[in-house]
């Protein structure tokens, strides 16, 4: 692929801007751990929300969407659209709880909620398990997408493509901490959205595609346009619609869509100025993530079916690309080779922005686990604030190196997606209930983590090798959820609860309320303890669930309405728009009134 001088100028300017932001925030980031990992806990909602969107807008996301569309049609996106349910519940139920907890990382939550050696073990182990193992796999999947883009568009080897992005991203993340990540995310999101929209426009107007009318009427595409799966195909319906909406959203831990919030979503909420900013940030994220971004990727994916109808066509078009990574997700960067000179630099910069925003967040988030929840907690409790920053920067570099090496052993984004879903299957319900059911303890979490991982290993390495029939991905997921959920509930009921004093301290700080804490508060009252202020005057979860339902209706109506409009179905688009408008008005009407300042 030949790039003009203007293309290289745009790419070079983007790299220079990213490094400049890191250098600008270097001194401030080095002042202490709270600044390096939480940006001083004073970030406005709009910047946090855009940062969340930018982080989930990775270079592998359009590749993943393309893979789903080519294999399952547009309806295949319900595999990830279903996560909106847990996202909206996080907005209206859990965001305030996280901000009240005042922890630096969501892993620190374990010793806030649980007690004893088991809580300490859980915190330390999860810091390494999520901060290193999970984090490296996620970043490797993102780097894999970059390697495919670099191979198709620039003729780079996987090692060359991975190395270039890794060095720049690690540099500004190490220098500027979370503040640099947030500021570059803002710029990167604008660049990434601009590039994806233009890429969709350019692909739709290719001569082979023939405009939007030609695309939608093409025989290879017409059967893949439905926004809902074929209800007569029970297997397809179950795999991409029923299981995601009935089971996956509440039962599976997945980065960026953790039930109840977690990971870098929790990190952003914990960095918010106050509870209202935490709620506003997560609401903006969910609206933009599900309603704003998908359709440019979907259009490019549909165009790719016309131009590259199968993997053989992709392989023939790019003989220099390693055959091991010629999968359906390669079709997205393949379509970008048709972009006109001069615009290629912008689109490549947008893909770099998408990739680097995700990796920078995961680097800072993973380093926060390593420093705050492992190194300082267990090895160097006397470590100074500036010492924590130094260790954080070293951890950032090591995580980047590990992810770069791991990326060279993956073959597709969908492969990593299903692996992560399986490992987290069955743990989600625990993360939702631990805020509201006093009986859950550290042993519950350890059991959920161990059982889910064991089930994932069983399906990966044992099931078919002992002669048992192969199972579909959704069947593995459902089995993992069932076994894991049963396992952690059994362990919860068979083990001792958390000490009363720890439960009372948690209620005093977080004020979760609800029937799940009645027994604890009643016991405290019998013992003459002061329980004033430990339970809100009005338990807000029912209203939060109502508002979450309205938010879900708003986003799904906007998402599907956009599709109907693109398809030329104006009547259905009008109904969807009216539904979205009604949901938005109802959402505003159900907002809690702001407390009035006392009169002088």
Mean local confidence (pLDDT), 207-219: 94
Nearest CA to 168 out of 408, 413, 353 is that of 353
Given a contact cutoff of 8 angstroms between Cβ atoms, the answer to whether 404 and 143 are in contact is yes
Q: What is the DSSP string of 205-250?
A: TSTTTTHHHHHHH-HHHHTT--SS--TT-HHHHIIIIIHIIIIIHH
Q: What is the DSSP string of 466-527?
A: GTPPP--HHHHHHHHHHHHHHHHHHHHHHSPPPPHHHHHHHHHHH---SGGGHHHHHHHHHT
Mean pLDDT of the chain: 86
CB 401: neighbour CB atoms within 10 A? 13
What pLDDT digit, counting tens, does each position of 408-452 carry?
776 655 556 566 666 777 788 999 999 999 999 999 999 998 998
Retrieve residue 248's tokens.
């996956």
Is the pLDDT at 300 greater than 60? The verdict is yes
Mean local confidence (pLDDT), 570-584: 96
Angle between helices 275-287 and 263-270 (to 10 degrees): 140
Could you tell me the residue ranges of all domains in the chain? 5-424
Given a contact cutoff of 8 angstroms between Cβ atoms, the answer to whether 288 and 26 are in contact is no
Please tell me the predicted confidence (pLDDT) of residue 114.
95
- To the nearest whole percent, how much of the chain has pLDDT over 90? 42
What pLDDT digit, counting tens, does each position of 27-75 carry?
666 666 777 777 778 889 999 999 888 888 776 678 889 999 999 999 9
Reported as half-sphere exposure (CB side, CA atoms, 13 A), residue 473 has a value of 18
User: Which residues are registered as beta bridge partners of 272?
Assistant: 43
How much is the pTM? 0.85
Nearest CA to 404 out of 242, 162, 572 is that of 162
Q: Of 90-104, 214-228, 351-365, where does mean pLDDT reach its minimum?
A: 351-365
Q: Of 238-247, 300-309, 461-470, where does mean pLDDT reach its minimum?
A: 461-470
Q: Torsions phi, psi of 246, nearest 5?
A: -95, -30
Given a contact cutoff of 8 angstroms between Cβ atoms, the answer to whether 573 and 561 are in contact is yes
Helix residue spans in 90-157 (DSSP H): 95-101, 109-113, 116-128, 135-154
Angle between helices 473-494 and 413-424 (to 10 degrees): 30
Is the pLDDT at 599 greater than 60? The verdict is no
Mean local confidence (pLDDT), 569-590: 95
Specify the DSSP element, H or E, that contains 428.
helix 428-433
Non-local (6+) Cβ contacts of 70 within 8 A are 301, 304, 305, 328, 331
Using the CB atoms, write b or e for 559-577: b if 16+ within 10 Å: bbbbbbbbbeeeebbeebb
Please tell me the predicted confidence (pLDDT) of residue 556.
97
User: Which residues are registered as beta bridge partners of 252?
Assistant: 425
CA gap 354, 240 in Å, rounded: 26
- DSSP class of residue 310 equals S
Is the pLDDT at 596 greater than 50? The verdict is no
Residue 598 pLDDT level (bands cut at 50, 70, 90): very low
Mean local confidence (pLDDT), 524-531: 84
User: What's the first-to-final CA gap in the chain, in angstroms?
Assistant: 70
More confident residue, 342 or 496: 496
Its CATH architecture, for the domain 5-424, is: Up-down Bundle (1.20)
Retrieve residue 504's tokens.
């009372």
Q: What angle do CA 372, 185, 342 make, to 5 degrees?
A: 145
Q: Of 24-28, 68-72, 134-138, 588-592, where does mean pLDDT reach its minimum?
A: 24-28
Q: Torsions phi, psi of 535, nearest 5?
A: -130, 130
Nearest CA to 170 out of 475, 368, 398, 369 is that of 398
- To the nearest whole percent, how much of the chain has pLDDT over 70? 92
Non-local (6+) Cβ contacts of 166 within 8 A are 143, 359, 400, 401, 403, 404
Please tell me the predicted confidence (pLDDT) of residue 414.
56
Mean local confidence (pLDDT), 390-404: 90
Torsion over CA: 85, 63, 349, 168 (sign): positive
Is the pLDDT at 597 greater than 60? The verdict is no
Residue 133 pLDDT level (bands cut at 50, 70, 90): confident
Is the pLDDT at 567 greater than 90? The verdict is yes
Q: Of 177-181, 184-188, 558-562, where does mean pLDDT reach its minimum?
A: 177-181
What pLDDT digit, counting tens, does each position of 224-263 carry?
999 999 888 888 899 899 999 999 899 887 777 788 888 8
What pLDDT digit, counting tens, does each position of 485-512 carry?
999 999 999 999 999 999 999 999 999 9
CA gap 599, 104 in Å, rounded: 35
Q: Torsions phi, psi of 43, nearest 5?
A: -95, 135
Residue 600 pLDDT level (bands cut at 50, 70, 90): very low
Please tell me the predicted confidence (pLDDT) of residue 487.
95
Please tell me the predicted confidence (pLDDT) of residue 592.
65
- DSSP class of residue 327 equals S
Mean local confidence (pLDDT), 299-321: 89
Given a contact cutoff of 8 angstroms between Cβ atoms, the answer to whether 98 and 106 are in contact is yes
- Cβ-in-10-Å burial (0-12, 13-18, 19+) of 338 comes to middle
Mean local confidence (pLDDT), 521-533: 83
Non-local (6+) Cβ contacts of 122 within 8 A are 110, 114, 442, 445, 446
What pLDDT digit, counting tens, does each position of 149-164 carry?
777 667 777 777 787 7
């Amino acid at each position: 692929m030949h790039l003009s001088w203007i293309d290289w100028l745009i790419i070079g300017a983007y790299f220079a801007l990213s490094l400049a932001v890191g250098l600008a925030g270097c001194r401030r980031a080095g002042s202490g751990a709270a600044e390096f990992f939480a940006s001083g806990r004073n970030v406005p909602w709009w910047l946090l929300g855009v940062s969340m969107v930018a982080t989930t807008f990775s270079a592998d996301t359009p590749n993943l969407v393309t893979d789903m569309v080519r294999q399952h049609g547009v309806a295949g996106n319900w595999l990830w659209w279903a996560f909106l349910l847990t996202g909206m519940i996080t907005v209206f139920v859990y965001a305030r709880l996280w901000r009240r907890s005042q922890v630096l990382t969501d892993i620190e939550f374990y010793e806030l909620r649980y007690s004893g050696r088991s809580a300490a073990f859980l915190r330390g182990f999860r810091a390494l398990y999520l901060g290193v193992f999970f984090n490296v796999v996620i970043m490797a999947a993102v780097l894999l997408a970059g390697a495919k883009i670099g191979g198709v568009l620039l003729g780079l080897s996987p090692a060359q493509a991975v190395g270039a992005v890794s060095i720049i991203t690690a540099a500004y993340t190490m220098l500027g901490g979370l503040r640099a990540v947030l500021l570059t995310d803002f710029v990167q999101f604008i660049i990434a959205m601009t590039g994806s929209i233009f890429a969709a426009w350019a692909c739709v107007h290719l001569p082979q595609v023939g405009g939007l009318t030609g695309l939608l009427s093409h025989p290879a595409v017409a059967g893949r346009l439905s926004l809902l799966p074929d209800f007569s195909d029970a297997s397809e319906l179950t795999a991409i619609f029923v299981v995601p909406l009935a089971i996956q959203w509440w039962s599976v831990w997945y980065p960026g869509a953790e039930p109840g919030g977690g990971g870098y979503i929790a990190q952003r909420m914990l960095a918010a100025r106050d509870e209202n900013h935490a709620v506003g940030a997560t609401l903006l994220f969910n609206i933009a993530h599900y309603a704003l971004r998908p359709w440019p990727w979907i259009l490019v994916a549909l165009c790719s079916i016309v131009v590259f109808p199968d993997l053989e066509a992709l392989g023939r078009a790019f003989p220099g690309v390693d055959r091991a990574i010629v999968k359906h997700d390669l079709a997205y960067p393949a379509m970008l080779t048709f972009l006109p000179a001069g615009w290629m630099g912008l689109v490549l910069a947008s893909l770099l922005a998408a990739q680097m925003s995700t990796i920078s967040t995961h680097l800072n988030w993973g380093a926060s686990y390593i420093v705050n929840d492992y190194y300082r907690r267990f090895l160097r409790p006397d470590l100074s604030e500036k010492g924590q920053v130094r260790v954080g920067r070293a951890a950032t570099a090591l995580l980047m190196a590990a992810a770069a090496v791991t990326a060279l052993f993956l073959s597709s984004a969908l492969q990593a997606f299903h692996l992560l879903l399986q490992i987290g299957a069955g743990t989600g319900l625990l993360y939702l209930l631990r805020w509201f059911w006093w009986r859950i303890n550290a042993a519950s979490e350890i059991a959920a983590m161990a059982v889910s991982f064991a089930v994932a290993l069983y399906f990966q390495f044992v099931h078919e090798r002992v002669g048992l029939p192969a199972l579909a991905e959704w069947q593995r997921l459902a089995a993992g959820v069932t076994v894991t959920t049963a396992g952690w509930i059994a362990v919860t009921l068979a083990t001792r609860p958390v000490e009363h004093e720890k439960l009372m301290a948690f209620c005093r700080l977080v004020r979760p309320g609800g029937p799940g804490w009645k027994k604890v508060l009643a016991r405290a009252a019998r013992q003459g303890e002061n329980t004033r202020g430990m339970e809100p005057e009005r338990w807000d979860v029912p209203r939060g669930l109502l508002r979450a339902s309205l938010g879900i209706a708003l986003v799904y109506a906007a998402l599907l309405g956009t599709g109907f409009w693109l398809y030329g179905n104006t009547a259905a688009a009008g109904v969807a728009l009216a539904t979205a408008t009604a949901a938005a008005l109802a959402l505003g009407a159900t907002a809690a009134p702001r407390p009035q300042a006392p009169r002088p």
